[in-house]
Amino acid sequence: MGYNTTRHEIGVYTRLFPMIFFWVIIFVTLFAQRKKYGDTLTFKQGFQTGLIMTLVYCAGFTVMIILYQNLVNPEYYQTLKDFTMKTLEERKATQAMMDAEMKELQMSQSGSASSYLLLFVFSSIWGIGISAIASALLRKK
């Protein structure tokens, strides 16, 4: 949570790394589970494992973000907002584009209860989708 949240010019590119790493872990875990079951894995077994992993990971990740934004780096939202505005101004974005971007930023990163709920929900949706894909690809009877 260092460069991602204090150096936003790097965070633009690295912000998704924790989630991508988790998606890879879903595949690795399901592959290991398949080996554990004697080289067999049903879609249901894989999906249940992926679903549990997703819910636990997303809940933990959301709690970590809550603690980080409220205790470790309470300036995070403001610095991200300033960085985003500066970037939009450099790109010579229209006022409508700026307003839309700021509204999205407030909705997703402001530190409000709804922003944390959105983080959990959208992270879970992606994790569930990846779990379904991994389960379908790794199933073996």
3-state secondary structure of 73: coil
Task: List the domain range (segments joined by +) for residue 104.
Answer: 17-136
Residue 83 domain-assigned?
A: yes
Q: What are phi and psi of 140, to 5 degrees?
A: -160, 130
Summarised one tens digit per residue, pLDDT across range 54-104 is: 999 999 999 998 998 889 888 888 998 999 999 999 999 899 999 999 999
Please list, in sequence order, all residues whose beta carbon lies within 8 angstroms of the beta carbon of residue 105, skipping any fewer than 6 positions away: 80, 81, 84
Residue 55 domain-assigned?
A: yes
Quick one: average pLDDT of 21-28? 96
Residue 141 domain-assigned?
A: no
Q: Residue 15 has what pLDDT?
A: 81
Give the residues across from 140 on adjacent strands.
41
d(CA 42, CA 93): 50
Q: Which residue has the tokens 């989708």?
A: 129
Residue 9 domain-assigned?
A: no
Q: Is the pLDDT of residue 1 over 80?
A: no
CA–CA distances in Å: residue 12 to residues 5, 73, 124: 9, 17, 21
Q: Count the domains in the chain.
A: 1
